[in-house]
Amino acid sequence: MAHTKIIHDETPIRLFKSDFMEFFTHITPQAIVIIWLPVVFLLLFTSSGISLVNTTIGFLIGLFVWTLAEYTLHRFVFHFPPKTPRMERITFLFHGVHHAQPQCKTRLVMPPVVALPFAALFYGLFWLILGTGLGAPEWVHPLTAGFLTGYLIYDLTHYATHHWPMRSGYLRYLKRYHMAHHFKNPDGLYGVSSSAWDYVFGTTADKPT
């Protein structure tokens, strides 16, 4: 994604003519916690046929898998180089609008209209691999719970990097890292809650000090 002209107007960019469609492009961080935290608890509560230790291990594996998904989605989906005007429009709706107006408070976390299909896709993938492929369906729920927790951490971290001070320690590093992605290198520094995969795949140009 090439450098996008930054719009400093506080009025959110309108994406759709329809007020109904436009409504679903805005979301607050409080809303995603209200939506997804009960889902995480439900997945953990319905984990059966597996010990507490293995539930914890599955949850931690899910957290780890999320970090790779976060990097992969940000790099290859949200920053997909469009080949046609239609694809350019789609990529702008998904992520380009955030680079054009990075401080817009209601477009810093993923709206449910986008998050729900992604969550269903990954749940189906986990079920296909663990439940069908490996014959271990009891691992699906704790792993998905960890994955969704990772997503919540990512979205809340993303909001925080744009609107919280984060003046010291690792939080300061994350803020500077993500601001470098916006203002120095939009084609690198894809990690938000963690920079680890940028180091693995060599996309750490312009990393903060």
Question: How far is residue 22's CA from residue 68's CA, in Å, rounded to a whole number?
Answer: 30
Model confidence over 84-105: pLDDT tens digits?
A: 998 989 888 889 899 999 989 9
Residues in the chain, pLDDT under 50: none
Sequence spans of domains, the chain: 19-201
pTM, two decimal places: 0.91
pLDDT at 49: 82
CA distance 150 to 59: 10
* Residue in 104, 89, 88 with CA at minimum distance from that of residue 26: 104
Burial bucket for residue 53 (CB in 10 Å: 0-12, 13-18, 19+): exposed
Q: What is the pLDDT of residue 178?
A: 95
Nearest-angstrom CA–CA distance, 138 and 131: 8
Instruction: Report how far residue 81's alpha carbon sits from residue 75's, in angstroms, rounded to the nearest whole number.
Output: 10
pLDDT at 127: 96
- What is the pLDDT, as a whole number, of residue 144? 98
pLDDT, tens digit, 9 for 90 and up, residues 60-86: 999 999 999 999 999 999 999 888 998
Query: What pLDDT was estimated at residue 128?
Result: 97
